[in-house]
Chain A
Amino acid sequence: MTTDVRKAPFLPVAVLCCLGFAAVWLPFLHVAPNRLLSGVARSPHEIVLAVAWLAVAGLAWFIRSRTLAIACVSAMVVALPWLAGHDAGRLLDGAAPTSRVQTGAGFWTMWLAAGLLLLDRLRGLSLRWRAATWAAIALAVLSLAMGGAFGDIAIVREYRAQRGVFIDAFWTHVALSGTTLLLALAIGLPLGAWAWRAKRAGGVLLGVFSFLQTVPSLALFALLIGPFAWLARAWPALGALGFGGTGAAPAVFALVLYALLPVLRYTVTGLDAAPADARDAARGLGMSRWHVLARIQVPLGLPVLLSGLRIVAVQTVGLAAVASLIGAGGLGRFVFLGIGQGATDMVLLGTLAIIALAFAMDLLFQGLHALAEVRA
């Protein structure tokens, strides 16, 4: 894995190092008297950080070993939150118990720059190496968290204060997204197969869903309140099952509508992945339609479908946040309640969790895709 990086363009490294270096002079931390008021900027380790960025840039430029670059940048990705936690503890020494230390623009910019730098250096390596690097970093950050290294950072305090609600919201979010994906697959796969066979009608179908995709999510959620409330009144049995104008049912309904277009598209593309002449030969040699589907089209189309589902999954996790506005719960609650209360830590907690979930979905489907590629 000691590929010569001279072959990789140096420009992204230079840009990201400059970004990180400049961010040293942005506020690293904010010290606020409580969770609602904004705080005073503090950057206790400006010099150390500036030197660190110069060192990373210098290493990348003069010692062109990719392994070393990856090790350095990985260390940076782990060290930044550790430093924030460490400084937060020092700043809180002797302060009022309601005081909070929030991570500031400097921290976030540097962390982002370090993360992107790592992505750049990992590009072109095998999936196994990339996954191993990220897993090692996650493990390091996690063990630091277990050891209480971040306990004094505001967002972690927020989490501790709302732990029960947060975990509930997290699982609700997972359930909303998961149900949406399963339903979208259950409807989208057969519908996509039909659209593939009936080309003209399929085009109309895709057009309808393309139009739906342009309706803003918030508007669609609002539009569904009326019909769902009416449904619940007309059939009280449905109401008893939790059906109503607001809540999970209309949210999942809307999310499925949004997920259907990409599922349909990628189903059609996936079915087309098997060359027409191979299908003709398969039929001519006496395979039934079912055989052709199961033995030719599915193995060849699965990688395409999975790469599409990856997009659907990430999109659904993001859109499910908006669903909390019609009472579906989920991590969106933290974002919108936090905005309402002016509690930045709460917004951040919800947002970071949504990003992490989307990232996990992305990794999951990338892995499945790699598996399907190997088998095809």
Chain B
Amino acid sequence: MIVFEGVGKRFGGRSVIDGLDLRIEDGEFFVLVGPSGSGKSTLLRMVNRLVTPDSGRILVDGDDVASVDVEQLRRGIGYAIQSVGLFPHRTVGENIATVPRLLGWSKRDIDARVDELLALLRLDDPGIADRYPRTLSGGQQQRVGVARALAARPRIVLMDEPFGALDPLTRESLQSALRTIQRDTATTILFVTHDMDEAFGLGDRVGLMLDGHLVQVGTPLELIRQPADERVREFVGGSRARLRELAIRPVRERMRNEIASGGAAVDIDASLQDALGAMLAQGRDRLRVEEKGRVVGSIALADLVERRG
């Protein structure tokens, strides 16, 4: 659990963050989204004390971070950044093992954990653990960066635009890998991005930051359906926000039980956006819905448009 209480920060006379309160629950995937310069990275870096707030305090699991030994605090919190920052003179395995080594794990535990993480993040080229970062692709480097952040099984992970520099395909694959790992391990993640789609796709809750203020905090649907003000509405995408909603909602919510005949099928956990895409691709207005390969119902174009709570 991370709690911000009246946190403020000024850089050279300019207020970057102004009296901010926020509470992030255990096991929550919380995304801070906002344009560059809105103070979201500064807020994230306050949690592991890379930035010291001028006012207010930050509690991690009930303890004021300012009162904890700073290295101890950081070793307990995962940290991944957009530029990755791998150590160029250390192998992939050594990079991943950074924090376990600092914590004095045994060599056997470290080796086992490195293997586990390589598999988890699909870094499965043979011998990749002994290679140097410069021999890896950008996507692979970022996978190593994420693996390094997760290495010591931290309960909290801070991620500052970790996928910002990747191509869309690599980014999507890493996003879904991260989401799965987060759900399986119930890790609390504080994630910073300027990409609305990424924020809505990943976050349990999203906090929109503008000029050092959290203008709205809520689930992705709340931000789309009930924007707090005009600026939020604009940032969420105006009338196109409804398209974003399709990307968030699963087919399960809008399907009907009548079983349609013929045509292509869509999975019950796919998004409504996927369903719409499939309809457009095939020129049909109705699809079969499958759950684990069994047809359980159907979904029609009208179901996507219909307004239900």
Q: Which residues of A contact B (CB under 8 A)?
A: 275, 277-288, 291, 295-296, 299-300, 376
Contacts and interface: CB of A to CB of B under 8 A. Distances in A.
Contacts of A280: 50, 81, 85
A202 B85 CA distance: 26
B71 A284 contact: no
B86 A285 contact: no
B85 A278 contact: yes
A278 B86 contact: yes
Interface in B74-99: 74-76, 79, 81, 83-89, 98-99
18 contacts: A278-B86, A278-B87, A279-B85, A281-B79, A281-B87, A283-B50, A284-B45, A284-B81, A284-B158, A285-B74, A285-B79, A285-B148, A285-B149, A286-B72, A286-B74, A286-B75, A288-B71, A300-B89
B48 interface: yes
A172 to B, nearest CB: 40
B81 A296 contact: no
B71 A286 contact: yes
A284 B74 CA distance: 6
Contacts of A275: 85, 88
Contacts of B73: 286
Contacts of A283: 50, 74
Contact of A296 (B50, B79, B87): B87
A82 B66 CA distance: 76
A282 B145 CA distance: 12
B102 interface: yes
Nearest to A295: B87
Interface in B182-227: none
Given A286-B75, A288-B71, A281 B102 contact: no
Interface residues of B, number: 25
Nearest to A291: B102
Nearest to B145: A281
A286 B99 contact: yes
A279 to B, nearest CB: 8
Given A281-B86, A282-B98, 10 more contacts: A278-B88, A280-B85, A281-B81, A282-B87, A285-B74, A285-B148, A285-B149, A286-B71, A286-B76, A287-B71
Nearest to A279: B85
Most buried by B among A278, A282, A284: A284
Contacts of A376: 89
A285 B98 contact: yes
A287 B75 CA distance: 8
A275 B84 CA distance: 11
A281 B84 contact: yes
A257 B9 CA distance: 44
A282 B72 CA distance: 13
B244 to A, nearest CB: 31
B85 A287 contact: no
A287 B102 contact: yes
User: Interface of chain A, helix or strand or loop or mixed?
Assistant: helix
B271 to A, nearest CB: 34
A285 B75 contact: yes
Contacts of B99: 285-286
A-B pairs, 10 with minimum CB distance: A281-B85, A286-B74, A286-B75, A277-B85, A284-B79, A277-B83, A278-B85, A286-B71, A376-B89, A299-B89
Contacts of A285: 74-75, 79, 98-99, 102, 148-149
Contact of B102 (A277, A286, A296, A299): A286
Contacts of B158: 284
A163 to B, nearest CB: 49
Nearest to A288: B71
Contacts of A296: 87, 89
A299 B84 CA distance: 19
Contacts of B148: 281, 285
A369 to B, nearest CB: 15
Interface in B52-82: 71-76, 79, 81
Nearest to A299: B89
A376 B79 CA distance: 25
A216 B290 CA distance: 87
A302 to B, nearest CB: 10
A275 B85 CA distance: 8
Nearest to A280: B85
A376 B72 CA distance: 28
A168 B102 CA distance: 52
Most buried by A among B45, B71, B72, B84: B71
A287 B83 CA distance: 18
A282 B75 CA distance: 10
Contacts of A288: 71
A286 to B, nearest CB: 4
Contacts of A299: 89
Interface in B109-162: 145, 148-149, 158
Contacts of A279: 85
Contacts of B76: 286
Nearest to B102: A286
Nearest to B151: A285
A230 B287 CA distance: 100
A280 B84 CA distance: 10
A58 to B, nearest CB: 46
Nearest to B98: A285
Contacts of B71: 286-288
Nearest to B149: A285
A278 B88 CA distance: 8
A182 B59 CA distance: 49
Contacts of A282: 85, 87, 98
A191 to B, nearest CB: 25
Nearest to B71: A286
B190 to A, nearest CB: 13
B130 to A, nearest CB: 16
Most buried by B among A277, A288, A299: A277
Contacts of A277: 81, 83-85
Nearest to B158: A284
Nearest to B70: A286
